[in-house]
A and B are shown apart, each in its own frame.
Chain A
Amino acid sequence: MVEKEHMKIVIVGHVDHGKSTLIGRLLYDTGSLPPDKVEEVKKTCEALGRDMEFGFILDHLQEEREQGITIDTAQIFFNTDKRDYVIIDAPGHVEFIKNMITGASQAEAAILIIKAEEGLQEQTKRHAYILSMLGLKQLIVAVNVFDFDNFTQEKFNQLNDEIVDFLGKIDLKPSYVIPISAKLGDNIANKSEKIDWYSGDTVLNSLDTFALTKRNTDKGLRFPIQDAYKVEDKRIFAGRVESGVINKDDEVVVLPANTKTTIASVEKFLEEPVKAEAGESIGITTKDPLFIERGNVVCKEDDMPKVTDTIKANVFWMSKQDFDADESITLKLATQEVTANIEKIERRMNSSTLEEIQRDDNLLKNNEVGVMVIKTNEPVIVDNFNYVPELGRFVFERDNITSAGGIITNIELEKI
């Protein structure tokens, strides 16, 4: 059976700008909603003299999920001819950011919805900032038109300029800016007849043009070493292949020492494989007798992670005890463990209100996100979170308790 590809997307925007209507529309127009519920809501809306509201159906689905009636977890599905889509949803900002940073869920593309009549509001900007923080590059801005009579191409162009200008400042570049009506379904799955001056793609078509995150096996090799064993006269280095493929006779580089060697064998309990790919726990032996220890990462020369002692990261603090930027803390990234000190906190945000924190201190409190420059006592081997998440994500531990999750999204800024 060929598995249909699927993409994880996230939809964000001001609470009143039509997010749930858009989700409802995407589901409705792709035939993903239970028809009997649609009919029931339609009829009741009519009976009450209201317009059809998809929000009720979404709430209903959510409720069924909470009661465990449907098997799916907190995710909503729809599909196009090209692929399946999963909308990642979370009950609130805190959960959403936490899930993204800790790896419970990771979006590959985003839709930012903006009400045409209101434009860029503070809340819209904060949501955009989250997308920027997560390093999302595939972005659709959906300009949701409520009142067609007063919406002209000129207004759209003006808003488009404002949006692109603002997003540019926070390092986001929308792939598409699309005028839509979430309520009536214009330019979602079907082209709008009312917005006849817009000749671009619909939301669904645009989503279909986005690239899927590479499968882990298609990326460069990352084999972080967990342990070294001596079995008879062989030294075996054990770990989990996080990405890429490793073969017998491959030329590899061991970081951080940058030592080159050749794979003598790939070992698996009770098996004698010649290769292993992402997801497999294996052991290797090398042709040269090398000193390799826990925390080292085996890679290949054509695709290497970064070795650095300075990283810029977004850190989500999730401990009731405050973090003081002056304290040293343990940083764990894959199998690496180092001591970290904070060089500076550039910006802090309350993950619930998404407001920037203006406090006159150097603390990060529970559920706050800090953009910080971290200095490690030894070099660490890192990747961009959006390339190899396993090496782009870390935790802070204090007294052996995980206190924060962090992601590295802008690796170009790093220096040794």
Chain B
Amino acid sequence: MSQSYDRGTIEDFGRWKEFSAGMWAWIFHKFSGWVLIGYLFTHIAVLSTATQSPEMYTQTIRSLESLAIVRVLEVGLLAVAVFHILNGVRLLFVDLGVGLEAQDKSFYASLAVSAAIVVASVPTFLAGAF
């Protein structure tokens, strides 16, 4: 028999120490979503240099990629993208009613796999940056 718990509202961030796994998953999914939509607008703006000239496009991307801070931010982008994808898969299963009892474990798995993929990708993302 399932039970319901009154965990209060997620919006009351002052009680973050009492948050359950599902509440953290909700916050991380929203945060990563905001970052990704913000990046999409920025990405199209940068790529729009292709409308000016081929040289400006190549030069803009090469200049940005030569900055170490951009490479580090790309690792951060990868982290939020991978987490959003993996937690999104988890949410699709939850919506289908699959694995509801293990939704906390699947959140921890999303975090662990995201971390593993990001750490393994760091050498590729930072190659030649420093």
Q: Report whether chain A binds chain B.
A: no
